[in-house]
Amino acid sequence: TLTGCGSKEEYLVVGTNAEFPPFEYIGGATGDEVLGFDIDLAKQIAADQGKTLKVENMKFDSLIVALNAGKVDMVAAGMTITPERKASVDFSQPYYEATQVVITPVTNVSINSVDDVKGKHIAVQLGSTGDIMAKELSDNVTAFNTGFEAIMELKNGKVDMVLFDSEPAAKHLAKNPQLKMQKLNFDAEYYGLAVAKNNPELLKQINASIDTMKQNGSFDALLAKHMQ
Ligand code: ARG
């Protein structure tokens, strides 16, 4: 898009999977806007570079591929920093601490420890850390493109439990009183923004933006706006 006076608008293109409230989800007045904590964070990062944010919504397991193919500049998707992912992309400083939680019907009383998860039929989001962890604990894992579909499978009685990140799990539960979540003692996970390994300049700018936002209070304001 060209703006007035012949000047060309510059974009920061962010890849996300808008199936992960409150970090990224579809909503707004027109019902087709991508909103959420990560999007607001990315907007500020773009603004700090004098750029306009452009959001590309795609499947979660396509994000790293798109980043390394140069289709997006940055991934903001509640993505957990893991050693495996660090082998193919670079991550910003961690910006959020999360854990996996077990979602079951409220009537389920048989899962009270990580040990109880072993061998259960688990629904997860494809390519997520929940997917990877579930496969370490059980041979009976069904992966879906969205967390929403995983929750549907549980509501339909087709699986014993869903393994999902704490904040989006809480958002889904708010709409499903027949479900409960348990934290158990899964390890903490840290979300980072991802950039291609050949882009250390952008990584530096991202970290500087996060530092500034933490110092001037706007990071906490964003947390207060989006988290429950
Ligand atoms: N934190 C988890 C992971 O990195 C799940 C992230 C899912 N994010 C999303 N936007 N769907 O694997």
5 CA distance to ligand 1 middle (Å): 41
Q: What value does the mean pLDDT of the chain take?
A: 95
Cβ(80) to ligand 1 under 6 A? Answer: yes
Counting from 1 in the atom list of ligand 1, the atom nearest the Cα of 16 is 10
Give the CATH number for residue 88. Answer: 3.40.190.10
Q: What is the pLDDT of residue 14?
A: 98
Q: What are phi and psi of 18, to 5 degrees?
A: -80, 55
Residues 44 and 156 in one domain: no
125 CA distance to ligand 1 middle (Å): 8
Cβ(79) to ligand 1 under 6 A? Answer: yes
Q: In what order do the strands lie in the sheet with 24-27?
A: 19-20, 24-27, 33-35
Counting from 1 in the atom list of ligand 1, the atom nearest the Cα of 132 is 12
Alpha-carbon gap, residue 144 to 121, rounded angstroms = 13
pLDDT, tens only, 110-146: 999 999 999 999 999 999 999 999 999 999 999 999 9
Alpha-carbon gap, residue 202 to 159, rounded angstroms = 42
Three-state SS at 65: helix
Counting from 1 in the atom list of ligand 1, the atom nearest the Cα of 77 is 10
Q: Count CB neighbours of 133 within 10 A.
A: 20
Stated pTM of the model:
0.93
Residues 38 and 52 in one domain: yes
81 torsion bin: left (phi>0), alpha (psi -120 to 50), beta (else): beta
Alpha-carbon gap, residue 31 to 23, rounded angstroms = 16
Residues 195 and 150 in one domain: no
Taking a C-beta distance cutoff of 8 angstroms, is the pair 196, 139 a contact? no
pLDDT, tens only, 171-182: 999 999 999 999
Cβ(40) to ligand 1 under 6 A? Answer: no
Which residue is listed with tokens 């079951």? 104
Cβ(38) to ligand 1 under 6 A? Answer: no
Please name the residue ranges forming H helices in 87-165.
114-117, 129-137, 147-155
Residues 78 and 17 in one domain: yes
Cβ(89) to ligand 1 under 6 A? Answer: no
Q: What is the pLDDT of residue 9?
A: 79
Residues 73 and 128 in one domain: no
Alpha-carbon gap, residue 28 to 73, rounded angstroms = 24
Q: Is the ipTM beyond the 0.95 threshold?
A: yes
Residues 70 and 129 in one domain: no
Cβ(78) to ligand 1 under 6 A? Answer: yes
4 CA distance to ligand 1 middle (Å): 38
Residues 78 and 104 in one domain: no
Q: 5, 14, 7, 1: which is closest to 195 by C-alpha?
A: 14
Q: What is the pLDDT of residue 213?
A: 98
Q: Which two tokens stand for residue 108?
A: 């389920």
Residues 73 and 176 in one domain: no
Number of structural domains found in the chain = 2
Residue-number span of the structural domain to which 152 is assigned: 100-182
- Average the pLDDT over 78-87 and give the result: 98
Residues 87 and 153 in one domain: no
Q: What is the pLDDT of residue 6?
A: 53
Residues 26 and 86 in one domain: yes
Cβ(18) to ligand 1 under 6 A? Answer: no
Residues 108 and 123 in one domain: yes
Taking a C-beta distance cutoff of 8 angstroms, is the pair 226, 22 a contact? yes
Those residues whose C-beta lies under 8 Å from the C-beta of residue 32, and which sit 6 or more positions away, are 26
Residues 173 and 194 in one domain: no
Counting from 1 in the atom list of ligand 1, the atom nearest the Cα of 127 is 12
